[in-house]
Protein backbone atom coordinates (compact mmCIF):
# COMPACT_ATOMS: atom_id res chain seq x y z
CA UNK A 1 0.00 0.00 0.00
CA UNK A 2 2.84 2.44 0.89
CA UNK A 3 4.31 2.10 -2.60
CA UNK A 4 1.01 3.18 -4.18
CA UNK A 5 0.29 6.83 -5.04
CA UNK A 6 -1.77 8.73 -2.45
CA UNK A 7 -4.86 8.94 -4.70
CA UNK A 8 -4.77 5.19 -5.36
CA UNK A 9 -4.34 4.42 -1.64
CA UNK A 10 -7.34 6.62 -0.81
CA UNK A 11 -9.40 4.91 -3.53
CA UNK A 12 -8.47 1.44 -2.24
CA UNK A 13 -9.37 2.49 1.34
CA UNK A 14 -12.77 3.81 0.17
CA UNK A 15 -13.42 0.60 -1.75
CA UNK A 16 -12.50 -1.54 1.28
CA UNK A 17 -14.65 0.62 3.53
CA UNK A 18 -17.51 0.30 1.06
CA UNK A 19 -17.16 -3.49 0.93
CA UNK A 20 -17.03 -3.64 4.74
CA UNK A 21 -20.12 -1.43 5.00
CA UNK A 22 -22.02 -3.65 2.57
CA UNK A 23 -21.01 -6.77 4.52
CA UNK A 24 -22.13 -5.17 7.78
CA UNK A 25 -25.47 -4.21 6.19
CA UNK A 26 -25.92 -7.75 4.81
CA UNK A 27 -25.18 -9.30 8.21
CA UNK A 28 -27.43 -6.77 9.95
CA UNK A 29 -30.20 -7.45 7.44
CA UNK A 30 -29.83 -11.19 7.96
CA UNK A 31 -29.99 -10.76 11.74
CA UNK A 32 -33.11 -8.57 11.49
CA UNK A 33 -34.73 -11.06 9.08
CA UNK A 34 -33.92 -14.01 11.33
CA UNK A 35 -35.17 -12.18 14.43
CA UNK A 36 -38.42 -11.05 12.78
CA UNK A 37 -38.97 -14.50 11.27
CA UNK A 38 -38.39 -16.18 14.66
CA UNK A 39 -40.73 -13.77 16.43
CA UNK A 40 -43.42 -14.45 13.84
CA UNK A 41 -42.96 -18.22 14.23
CA UNK A 42 -43.55 -17.89 17.96
CA UNK A 43 -46.98 -16.37 17.30
CA UNK A 44 -48.10 -19.52 15.50
CA UNK A 45 -50.00 -22.25 17.35
CA UNK A 46 -48.18 -25.49 18.31
CA UNK A 47 -47.41 -28.02 15.59
CA UNK A 48 -49.70 -31.04 15.41
CA UNK A 49 -49.04 -34.57 14.24
CA UNK A 50 -50.17 -33.75 10.69
CA UNK A 51 -47.49 -31.05 10.54
CA UNK A 52 -44.70 -33.13 12.06
CA UNK A 53 -45.37 -36.43 10.28
CA UNK A 54 -46.57 -37.75 6.92
CA UNK A 55 -47.12 -41.01 4.99
CA UNK A 56 -43.63 -42.26 4.18
CA UNK A 57 -44.55 -44.19 1.03
CA UNK A 58 -45.32 -41.03 -0.99
CA UNK A 59 -44.16 -41.02 -4.63
CA UNK A 60 -40.80 -39.42 -5.36
CA UNK A 61 -39.13 -38.72 -8.70
CA UNK A 62 -36.72 -41.61 -8.09
CA UNK A 63 -39.68 -44.05 -8.18
CA UNK A 64 -40.38 -43.30 -11.85
CA UNK A 65 -38.33 -46.08 -13.43
CA UNK A 66 -38.77 -47.14 -17.06
CA UNK A 67 -41.43 -49.73 -16.12
CA UNK A 68 -43.31 -47.50 -13.65
CA UNK A 69 -46.75 -46.43 -14.93
CA UNK A 70 -50.00 -44.80 -13.80
CA UNK A 71 -51.29 -48.13 -12.45
CA UNK A 72 -48.18 -48.39 -10.27
CA UNK A 73 -48.67 -44.78 -9.17
CA UNK A 74 -52.23 -45.48 -8.04
CA UNK A 75 -51.15 -48.68 -6.28
CA UNK A 76 -48.50 -46.71 -4.41
CA UNK A 77 -51.15 -44.11 -3.61
CA UNK A 78 -53.26 -46.85 -2.02
CA UNK A 79 -50.39 -47.44 0.40
CA UNK A 80 -50.07 -43.70 1.06
CA UNK A 81 -53.71 -43.46 2.12
CA UNK A 82 -53.52 -46.63 4.21
CA UNK A 83 -50.65 -45.01 6.11
CA UNK A 84 -52.62 -41.79 6.42
CA UNK A 85 -55.61 -43.65 7.86
CA UNK A 86 -53.33 -45.39 10.37
CA UNK A 87 -51.99 -42.02 11.51
CA UNK A 88 -55.49 -40.51 11.73
CA UNK A 89 -56.87 -43.38 13.80
CA UNK A 90 -53.68 -43.78 15.83
CA UNK A 91 -51.26 -41.09 17.06
CA UNK A 92 -53.17 -38.12 15.63
CA UNK A 93 -56.52 -39.03 17.18
CA UNK A 94 -55.64 -37.50 20.56
CA UNK A 95 -54.58 -34.22 18.89
CA UNK A 96 -57.90 -33.52 17.15
CA UNK A 97 -59.59 -30.71 19.05
CA UNK A 98 -63.21 -30.24 18.08
CA UNK A 99 -65.49 -31.63 15.42
CA UNK A 100 -64.29 -29.43 12.54
CA UNK A 101 -61.02 -31.08 11.59
CA UNK A 102 -60.24 -33.03 8.43
CA UNK A 103 -58.06 -35.39 10.49
CA UNK A 104 -60.91 -36.38 12.78
CA UNK A 105 -62.07 -39.83 11.69
CA UNK A 106 -65.74 -38.97 12.28
CA UNK A 107 -65.56 -35.26 11.42
CA UNK A 108 -67.84 -33.68 8.83
CA UNK A 109 -64.59 -32.30 7.36
CA UNK A 110 -63.08 -35.76 6.81
CA UNK A 111 -62.83 -36.13 3.00
CA UNK A 112 -63.14 -39.91 3.21
CA UNK A 113 -66.76 -39.66 4.37
CA UNK A 114 -67.94 -36.36 2.84
CA UNK A 115 -69.06 -37.16 -0.73
CA UNK A 116 -69.34 -40.18 -3.02
CA UNK A 117 -65.58 -40.74 -3.01
CA UNK A 118 -62.42 -39.28 -1.50
CA UNK A 119 -61.73 -36.58 -4.06
CA UNK A 120 -58.26 -36.03 -2.61
CA UNK A 121 -57.15 -39.11 -4.53
CA UNK A 122 -56.22 -39.63 -8.17
CA UNK A 123 -59.36 -40.47 -10.13
CA UNK A 124 -60.05 -41.86 -13.59
CA UNK A 125 -63.28 -41.17 -15.50
CA UNK A 126 -63.14 -43.47 -18.54
CA UNK A 127 -65.18 -42.97 -21.67
CA UNK A 128 -66.19 -46.07 -23.68
CA UNK A 129 -65.35 -44.31 -26.97
CA UNK A 130 -63.05 -41.46 -25.99
CA UNK A 131 -62.81 -38.44 -28.28
CA UNK A 132 -59.62 -37.54 -26.44
CA UNK A 133 -57.83 -37.70 -23.12
CA UNK A 134 -57.61 -34.99 -20.47
CA UNK A 135 -55.06 -34.84 -17.66
CA UNK A 136 -56.14 -32.51 -14.84
CA UNK A 137 -53.54 -30.98 -12.52
CA UNK A 138 -54.62 -29.18 -9.35
CA UNK A 139 -53.03 -26.29 -7.48
CA UNK A 140 -50.61 -25.90 -4.58
CA UNK A 141 -51.92 -27.33 -1.27
CA UNK A 142 -55.10 -28.33 -3.15
CA UNK A 143 -56.27 -31.73 -4.34
CA UNK A 144 -57.89 -33.29 -7.44
CA UNK A 145 -61.24 -32.04 -6.11
CA UNK A 146 -60.46 -28.51 -7.32
CA UNK A 147 -61.00 -29.50 -10.97
CA UNK A 148 -63.86 -31.92 -10.32
CA UNK A 149 -66.48 -29.78 -12.09
CA UNK A 150 -64.30 -29.43 -15.20
CA UNK A 151 -63.52 -33.15 -15.12
CA UNK A 152 -67.21 -34.02 -15.13
CA UNK A 153 -67.88 -31.53 -17.94
CA UNK A 154 -65.13 -33.01 -20.13
CA UNK A 155 -66.16 -36.57 -19.33
CA UNK A 156 -69.70 -35.67 -20.39
CA UNK A 157 -68.26 -34.55 -23.72
CA UNK A 158 -66.62 -37.92 -24.34
CA UNK A 159 -63.14 -37.45 -22.88
CA UNK A 160 -61.35 -40.00 -20.74
CA UNK A 161 -60.25 -37.94 -17.76
CA UNK A 162 -57.51 -38.45 -15.19
CA UNK A 163 -57.40 -36.13 -12.18
CA UNK A 164 -53.90 -36.56 -10.78
CA UNK A 165 -53.11 -36.17 -7.09
CA UNK A 166 -49.77 -34.38 -7.27
CA UNK A 167 -47.25 -35.72 -4.67
CA UNK A 168 -47.41 -34.03 -1.27
CA UNK A 169 -51.09 -33.14 -1.66
CA UNK A 170 -54.41 -34.53 -0.47
CA UNK A 171 -52.92 -36.15 2.65
CA UNK A 172 -51.47 -33.80 5.29
CA UNK A 173 -49.51 -30.52 5.37
CA UNK A 174 -46.40 -32.36 6.58
CA UNK A 175 -46.24 -34.09 3.18
CA UNK A 176 -46.11 -30.72 1.41
CA UNK A 177 -43.26 -29.71 3.71
CA UNK A 178 -41.12 -32.56 2.36
CA UNK A 179 -41.90 -32.67 -1.38
CA UNK A 180 -39.88 -31.29 -4.31
CA UNK A 181 -40.99 -29.75 -7.60
CA UNK A 182 -39.08 -32.54 -9.38
CA UNK A 183 -41.46 -35.05 -7.74
CA UNK A 184 -44.38 -33.09 -9.22
CA UNK A 185 -42.97 -33.03 -12.75
CA UNK A 186 -42.06 -36.73 -12.62
CA UNK A 187 -45.63 -37.61 -11.57
CA UNK A 188 -47.04 -35.53 -14.44
CA UNK A 189 -44.90 -37.44 -16.95
CA UNK A 190 -46.17 -40.75 -15.56
CA UNK A 191 -49.80 -39.59 -15.71
CA UNK A 192 -49.54 -38.11 -19.22
CA UNK A 193 -48.17 -41.41 -20.52
CA UNK A 194 -51.01 -43.19 -18.72
CA UNK A 195 -53.70 -41.03 -20.32
CA UNK A 196 -52.12 -41.47 -23.75
CA UNK A 197 -52.43 -45.27 -23.39
CA UNK A 198 -56.13 -45.01 -22.52
CA UNK A 199 -57.17 -43.21 -25.71
CA UNK A 200 -57.03 -44.19 -29.41
CA UNK A 201 -54.00 -43.35 -31.49
CA UNK A 202 -54.52 -39.93 -33.04
CA UNK A 203 -57.00 -38.80 -30.37
CA UNK A 204 -55.88 -35.53 -28.76
CA UNK A 205 -54.23 -35.26 -25.34
CA UNK A 206 -55.30 -32.18 -23.38
CA UNK A 207 -53.77 -30.84 -20.16
CA UNK A 208 -55.98 -28.84 -17.79
CA UNK A 209 -54.10 -27.03 -15.03
CA UNK A 210 -55.16 -24.89 -12.10
CA UNK A 211 -52.71 -22.52 -10.38
CA UNK A 212 -49.51 -24.52 -9.78
CA UNK A 213 -51.08 -27.15 -12.01
CA UNK A 214 -51.08 -24.52 -14.75
CA UNK A 215 -47.31 -24.13 -14.35
CA UNK A 216 -46.96 -27.93 -14.39
CA UNK A 217 -49.04 -28.11 -17.59
CA UNK A 218 -46.92 -25.52 -19.40
CA UNK A 219 -43.75 -27.15 -18.09
CA UNK A 220 -44.85 -30.55 -19.40
CA UNK A 221 -45.66 -29.07 -22.83
CA UNK A 222 -42.14 -27.60 -22.90
CA UNK A 223 -40.60 -30.89 -21.76
CA UNK A 224 -42.46 -32.74 -24.52
CA UNK A 225 -40.76 -30.49 -27.08
CA UNK A 226 -37.35 -31.21 -25.57
CA UNK A 227 -37.87 -34.97 -25.08
CA UNK A 228 -39.34 -36.69 -28.18
CA UNK A 229 -40.35 -39.78 -26.18
CA UNK A 230 -42.98 -37.88 -24.16
CA UNK A 231 -46.58 -37.78 -25.48
CA UNK A 232 -47.22 -34.29 -26.83
CA UNK A 233 -50.34 -32.43 -25.67
CA UNK A 234 -52.47 -30.86 -28.40
CA UNK A 235 -53.98 -28.13 -26.20
CA UNK A 236 -53.75 -26.60 -22.70
CA UNK A 237 -56.60 -25.22 -20.61
CA UNK A 238 -55.35 -23.12 -17.68
CA UNK A 239 -57.16 -21.68 -14.65
CA UNK A 240 -55.31 -18.97 -12.65
CA UNK A 241 -52.00 -20.36 -13.94
CA UNK A 242 -48.99 -19.80 -11.71
CA UNK A 243 -46.76 -18.15 -14.30
CA UNK A 244 -44.76 -15.78 -12.15
CA UNK A 245 -45.28 -15.46 -8.39
CA UNK A 246 -44.31 -12.87 -5.82
CA UNK A 247 -40.47 -12.62 -5.81
CA UNK A 248 -40.54 -12.70 -1.99
CA UNK A 249 -41.27 -16.43 -2.33
CA UNK A 250 -37.57 -17.07 -2.93
CA UNK A 251 -36.69 -15.60 0.48
CA UNK A 252 -38.56 -18.49 2.09
CA UNK A 253 -35.78 -20.86 1.04
CA UNK A 254 -33.89 -19.80 4.18
CA UNK A 255 -36.56 -21.36 6.41
CA UNK A 256 -34.52 -24.47 7.27
CA UNK A 257 -31.51 -22.45 8.46
CA UNK A 258 -33.66 -20.07 10.52
CA UNK A 259 -35.56 -22.95 12.12
CA UNK A 260 -32.24 -24.60 13.02
CA UNK A 261 -30.74 -21.41 14.48
CA UNK A 262 -33.88 -20.45 16.40
CA UNK A 263 -34.58 -23.99 17.57
CA UNK A 264 -38.27 -23.48 16.69
CA UNK A 265 -39.59 -25.80 13.94
CA UNK A 266 -42.55 -23.44 13.43
CA UNK A 267 -40.12 -21.23 11.47
CA UNK A 268 -40.64 -23.77 8.67
CA UNK A 269 -44.28 -22.64 8.39
CA UNK A 270 -45.99 -19.46 7.25
CA UNK A 271 -49.47 -20.50 8.45
CA UNK A 272 -50.91 -23.07 10.85
CA UNK A 273 -54.63 -22.47 10.43
CA UNK A 274 -57.30 -24.90 11.59
CA UNK A 275 -57.66 -27.87 9.23
CA UNK A 276 -61.35 -27.43 8.44
CA UNK A 277 -61.05 -27.70 4.65
CA UNK A 278 -61.33 -31.31 3.41
CA UNK A 279 -59.59 -30.55 0.11
CA UNK A 280 -57.04 -27.84 0.89
CA UNK A 281 -54.50 -27.59 3.70
CA UNK A 282 -54.88 -24.98 6.43
CA UNK A 283 -51.19 -25.28 7.28
CA UNK A 284 -48.79 -23.76 4.76
CA UNK A 285 -45.15 -24.93 4.91
CA UNK A 286 -42.45 -22.57 3.66
CA UNK A 287 -41.31 -25.42 1.42
CA UNK A 288 -44.51 -25.01 -0.63
CA UNK A 289 -43.55 -21.45 -1.57
CA UNK A 290 -39.93 -22.48 -2.25
CA UNK A 291 -40.92 -25.28 -4.60
CA UNK A 292 -43.52 -23.14 -6.37
CA UNK A 293 -40.92 -20.43 -6.94
CA UNK A 294 -38.46 -22.99 -8.35
CA UNK A 295 -41.22 -24.39 -10.54
CA UNK A 296 -42.08 -21.00 -12.05
CA UNK A 297 -38.38 -20.19 -12.54
CA UNK A 298 -37.99 -23.45 -14.46
CA UNK A 299 -40.96 -22.64 -16.69
CA UNK A 300 -39.76 -19.09 -17.41
CA UNK A 301 -36.25 -20.36 -18.19
CA UNK A 302 -37.61 -22.96 -20.62
CA UNK A 303 -39.89 -20.42 -22.30
CA UNK A 304 -36.96 -18.04 -22.84
CA UNK A 305 -34.81 -20.86 -24.21
CA UNK A 306 -37.54 -21.94 -26.62
CA UNK A 307 -38.03 -18.35 -27.77
CA UNK A 308 -34.31 -17.90 -28.43
CA UNK A 309 -34.30 -21.12 -30.42
CA UNK A 310 -37.14 -19.79 -32.60
CA UNK A 311 -39.38 -22.72 -31.63
CA UNK A 312 -42.07 -20.98 -29.55
CA UNK A 313 -44.64 -21.62 -32.30
CA UNK A 314 -44.32 -25.35 -31.54
CA UNK A 315 -46.09 -24.91 -28.21
CA UNK A 316 -49.66 -26.23 -28.30
CA UNK A 317 -52.44 -23.63 -28.34
CA UNK A 318 -53.70 -22.67 -24.90
CA UNK A 319 -56.53 -20.82 -23.22
CA UNK A 320 -56.18 -19.26 -19.76
CA UNK A 321 -58.93 -18.00 -17.45
CA UNK A 322 -57.56 -15.43 -15.02
CA UNK A 323 -58.93 -12.91 -12.53
CA UNK A 324 -57.51 -9.45 -13.29
CA UNK A 325 -56.91 -9.05 -9.55
CA UNK A 326 -54.95 -11.93 -8.05
CA UNK A 327 -53.00 -11.89 -4.79
CA UNK A 328 -51.28 -15.23 -5.50
CA UNK A 329 -49.76 -14.77 -8.95
CA UNK A 330 -48.37 -11.75 -10.80
CA UNK A 331 -50.91 -11.23 -13.59
CA UNK A 332 -48.65 -9.05 -15.81
CA UNK A 333 -46.13 -11.90 -16.00
CA UNK A 334 -48.80 -14.17 -17.47
CA UNK A 335 -48.91 -11.69 -20.36
CA UNK A 336 -45.19 -10.94 -20.74
CA UNK A 337 -43.77 -14.41 -20.03
CA UNK A 338 -46.39 -16.52 -21.80
CA UNK A 339 -49.04 -14.90 -23.99
CA UNK A 340 -46.84 -12.19 -25.49
CA UNK A 341 -44.55 -14.96 -26.75
CA UNK A 342 -47.35 -16.82 -28.52
CA UNK A 343 -47.56 -15.89 -32.18
CA UNK A 344 -51.03 -17.17 -32.98
CA UNK A 345 -54.64 -16.13 -32.37
CA UNK A 346 -55.50 -19.79 -31.68
CA UNK A 347 -54.49 -19.10 -28.07
CA UNK A 348 -56.71 -16.99 -25.84
CA UNK A 349 -56.47 -15.12 -22.54
CA UNK A 350 -59.77 -14.63 -20.72
CA UNK A 351 -59.57 -11.93 -18.02
CA UNK A 352 -62.29 -11.44 -15.42
CA UNK A 353 -62.49 -7.73 -14.65
CA UNK A 354 -63.55 -6.26 -11.30
CA UNK A 355 -67.18 -5.34 -10.74
CA UNK A 356 -67.41 -1.79 -12.14
CA UNK A 357 -70.90 -1.03 -10.85
CA UNK A 358 -71.30 2.60 -9.82
CA UNK A 359 -71.84 1.81 -6.14
CA UNK A 360 -68.27 0.46 -5.95
CA UNK A 361 -66.76 3.46 -7.73
CA UNK A 362 -64.44 4.68 -4.95
CA UNK A 363 -64.36 1.48 -2.89
CA UNK A 364 -62.29 -0.75 -5.19
CA UNK A 365 -58.54 -0.32 -5.58
CA UNK A 366 -57.93 -0.15 -9.33
CA UNK A 367 -54.15 0.13 -9.06
CA UNK A 368 -53.78 -3.16 -10.94
CA UNK A 369 -54.86 -1.38 -14.12
CA UNK A 370 -51.62 0.60 -14.29
CA UNK A 371 -49.68 -2.63 -14.81
CA UNK A 372 -52.14 -4.80 -16.71
CA UNK A 373 -53.98 -2.46 -19.09
CA UNK A 374 -50.89 -1.03 -20.88
CA UNK A 375 -49.60 -4.56 -21.49
CA UNK A 376 -52.87 -5.61 -23.09
CA UNK A 377 -53.09 -2.47 -25.18
CA UNK A 378 -49.53 -2.68 -26.55
CA UNK A 379 -49.15 -6.47 -26.50
CA UNK A 380 -46.72 -7.93 -29.03
CA UNK A 381 -48.57 -11.23 -29.15
CA UNK A 382 -51.38 -12.14 -31.51
CA UNK A 383 -53.41 -14.03 -28.94
CA UNK A 384 -57.14 -13.54 -28.65
CA UNK A 385 -58.09 -11.43 -25.63
CA UNK A 386 -61.49 -11.74 -23.94
CA UNK A 387 -62.50 -9.42 -21.11
CA UNK A 388 -65.48 -10.35 -18.91
CA UNK A 389 -66.82 -7.08 -17.53
CA UNK A 390 -69.92 -4.99 -16.74
CA UNK A 391 -71.94 -3.91 -19.75
CA UNK A 392 -71.84 -0.38 -18.24
CA UNK A 393 -71.12 1.39 -14.93
CA UNK A 394 -74.85 1.60 -14.39
CA UNK A 395 -75.34 -2.16 -14.61
CA UNK A 396 -74.22 -5.34 -12.86
CA UNK A 397 -75.01 -7.36 -15.99
CA UNK A 398 -71.95 -8.92 -17.57
CA UNK A 399 -70.69 -9.12 -21.14
CA UNK A 400 -67.61 -10.58 -22.81
CA UNK A 401 -65.56 -8.30 -25.04
CA UNK A 402 -63.19 -10.15 -27.38
CA UNK A 403 -60.31 -8.86 -29.49
CA UNK A 404 -59.31 -11.19 -32.31
CA UNK A 405 -57.04 -10.11 -35.14
CA UNK A 406 -57.46 -6.51 -34.06
CA UNK A 407 -61.28 -6.50 -34.24
CA UNK A 408 -63.51 -6.28 -31.14
CA UNK A 409 -66.85 -8.04 -30.59
CA UNK A 410 -69.22 -7.99 -27.61
CA UNK A 411 -71.52 -10.76 -26.35
CA UNK A 412 -74.04 -10.64 -23.50
CA UNK A 413 -73.54 -13.52 -21.07
CA UNK A 414 -77.04 -13.47 -19.61
CA UNK A 415 -75.71 -13.25 -16.06
CA UNK A 416 -74.83 -10.60 -13.49
CA UNK A 417 -72.46 -9.90 -10.62
CA UNK A 418 -73.95 -11.37 -7.43
CA UNK A 419 -74.71 -8.87 -4.63
CA UNK A 420 -71.67 -7.84 -2.55
CA UNK A 421 -69.13 -9.48 -4.90
CA UNK A 422 -66.52 -6.98 -6.12
CA UNK A 423 -64.14 -9.31 -7.99
CA UNK A 424 -63.15 -12.89 -8.63
CA UNK A 425 -60.09 -14.32 -6.87
CA UNK A 426 -57.24 -16.68 -7.65
CA UNK A 427 -58.96 -19.61 -5.94
CA UNK A 428 -62.47 -19.04 -7.33
CA UNK A 429 -62.02 -19.57 -11.07
CA UNK A 430 -62.53 -23.37 -11.43
CA UNK A 431 -65.37 -23.76 -8.90
CA UNK A 432 -69.08 -23.47 -9.82
CA UNK A 433 -71.64 -21.78 -7.59
CA UNK A 434 -73.23 -25.23 -7.18
CA UNK A 435 -70.12 -26.70 -5.53
CA UNK A 436 -71.18 -28.54 -2.33
CA UNK A 437 -68.21 -27.18 -0.34
CA UNK A 438 -67.08 -23.92 -1.95
CA UNK A 439 -70.38 -22.86 -3.54
CA UNK A 440 -73.26 -20.68 -2.38
CA UNK A 441 -75.08 -21.13 0.94
CA UNK A 442 -77.84 -23.05 -0.84
CA UNK A 443 -75.36 -25.38 -2.55
CA UNK A 444 -73.46 -26.22 0.64
CA UNK A 445 -76.55 -27.24 2.63
CA UNK A 446 -76.14 -30.83 1.43
CA UNK A 447 -72.73 -31.19 3.11
CA UNK A 448 -73.17 -28.84 6.06
CA UNK A 449 -69.72 -27.45 5.28
CA UNK A 450 -70.25 -23.91 3.88
CA UNK A 451 -66.62 -22.97 3.17
CA UNK A 452 -67.65 -20.93 0.14
CA UNK A 453 -70.39 -19.00 1.92
CA UNK A 454 -69.03 -18.34 5.42
CA UNK A 455 -70.48 -15.15 6.83
CA UNK A 456 -69.34 -14.53 10.38
CA UNK A 457 -68.65 -11.27 12.18
CA UNK A 458 -66.56 -10.30 15.18
CA UNK A 459 -63.07 -9.08 15.99
CA UNK A 460 -60.19 -9.91 13.63
CA UNK A 461 -57.60 -12.40 14.85
CA UNK A 462 -60.06 -14.37 16.96
CA UNK A 463 -61.02 -17.17 14.59
CA UNK A 464 -58.46 -19.94 13.98
CA UNK A 465 -58.92 -19.48 10.25
CA UNK A 466 -57.47 -16.58 8.30
CA UNK A 467 -59.63 -13.55 7.59
CA UNK A 468 -59.09 -14.19 3.87
CA UNK A 469 -60.99 -17.48 4.15
CA UNK A 470 -64.08 -15.48 5.06
CA UNK A 471 -63.50 -12.57 2.65
CA UNK A 472 -61.99 -14.34 -0.38
CA UNK A 473 -64.46 -15.53 -3.02
CA UNK A 474 -64.31 -19.33 -3.30
CA UNK A 475 -66.51 -19.92 -6.36
CA UNK A 476 -66.92 -18.43 -9.82
CA UNK A 477 -70.33 -16.84 -10.51
CA UNK A 478 -69.43 -17.07 -14.22
CA UNK A 479 -68.37 -20.72 -14.17
CA UNK A 480 -71.07 -21.65 -16.68
CA UNK A 481 -69.51 -19.27 -19.20
CA UNK A 482 -66.01 -20.45 -18.22
CA UNK A 483 -66.69 -24.16 -18.75
CA UNK A 484 -68.74 -23.63 -21.92
CA UNK A 485 -66.10 -21.32 -23.39
CA UNK A 486 -63.30 -23.79 -22.57
CA UNK A 487 -65.13 -26.73 -24.13
CA UNK A 488 -66.13 -24.70 -27.20
CA UNK A 489 -62.53 -23.47 -27.59
CA UNK A 490 -61.22 -27.04 -27.34
CA UNK A 491 -63.68 -28.27 -29.95
CA UNK A 492 -62.75 -25.49 -32.40
CA UNK A 493 -59.01 -25.73 -31.77
CA UNK A 494 -58.69 -29.52 -31.92
CA UNK A 495 -60.84 -29.69 -35.06
CA UNK A 496 -58.25 -27.59 -36.92
CA UNK A 497 -54.82 -28.63 -35.61
The predicted-structure confidence for 165-181, as pLDDT tens digits, reads as follows 999 999 999 999 999 99
DSSP 8-state assignment for residue 423:
-
Q: Which residues of the chain have pLDDT under 70?
A: 1-9, 12, 16, 25-37, 40, 246-254, 378-381
- pLDDT for the residue numbered 368: 79
* Burial of 297 per CB tally in 10 Å (0-12, 13-18, 19+): middle
Torsion, CA 260, CA 265, CA 268, CA 274, rounded to 10: -170
Q: Which domains does the chain have, with CATH numbers?
A: 49-316 (3.40.50.1820)
The predicted-structure confidence for 397-415, as pLDDT tens digits, reads as follows 999 999 988 889 999 999 9
Instruction: With CA atoms as reference, report the closest residue to 107 among 469, 449, 465.
Output: 449
Half-sphere exposure of residue 140: CA atoms within 13 angstroms, side-chain side: 29
Query: How far apart, in Å, are the Cα atoms of 370 and each of 284, 314, 333, 387?
Result: 31, 32, 14, 16
The predicted-structure confidence for 98-131, as pLDDT tens digits, reads as follows 889 999 999 989 998 889 899 999 999 999 999 9
Cβ contacts of 440 within 8 Å, gap of 6 or more: 433, 434, 452, 453, 475
Cβ contacts of 116 within 8 Å, gap of 6 or more: none
Whether the Cβ atoms of residue 151 and residue 163 lie closer than 8 Å to each other: yes
Residue 116 Cα to chain centre, angstroms: 25
The predicted-structure confidence for 196-253, as pLDDT tens digits, reads as follows 999 999 999 999 999 999 999 999 999 999 998 999 999 999 999 999 776 665 666 6
112-126 burial, b if ≥16 CB within 10 A, otherwise e? Answer: bebbeebbbbbbbbe
- pLDDT for the residue numbered 295: 94
- Rounded Cα distance between 231 and 187, Å, is 14
390-416 burial, b if ≥16 CB within 10 A, otherwise e? Answer: bbeeeebebbbbbbeeeeeeeeebeeb
Run of H or E including 198: helix 181-198
- pLDDT for the residue numbered 296: 93
Amino acid sequence: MKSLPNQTRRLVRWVLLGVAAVMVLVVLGAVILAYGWTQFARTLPPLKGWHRDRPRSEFAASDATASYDLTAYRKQEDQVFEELDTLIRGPWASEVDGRFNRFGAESVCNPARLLNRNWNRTYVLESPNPVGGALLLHGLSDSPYSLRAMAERLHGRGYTVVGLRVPGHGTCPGALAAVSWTDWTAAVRVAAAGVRKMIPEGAPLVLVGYSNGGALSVNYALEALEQPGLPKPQALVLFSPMIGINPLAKVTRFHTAIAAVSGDPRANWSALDAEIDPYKYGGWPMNASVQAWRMTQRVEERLRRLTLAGRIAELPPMIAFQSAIDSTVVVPRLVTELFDRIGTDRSELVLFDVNRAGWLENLVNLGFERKVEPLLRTSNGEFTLTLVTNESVDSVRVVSKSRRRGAWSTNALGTSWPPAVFSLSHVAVPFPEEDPVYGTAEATKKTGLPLGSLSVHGESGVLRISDSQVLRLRHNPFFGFTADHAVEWLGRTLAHP
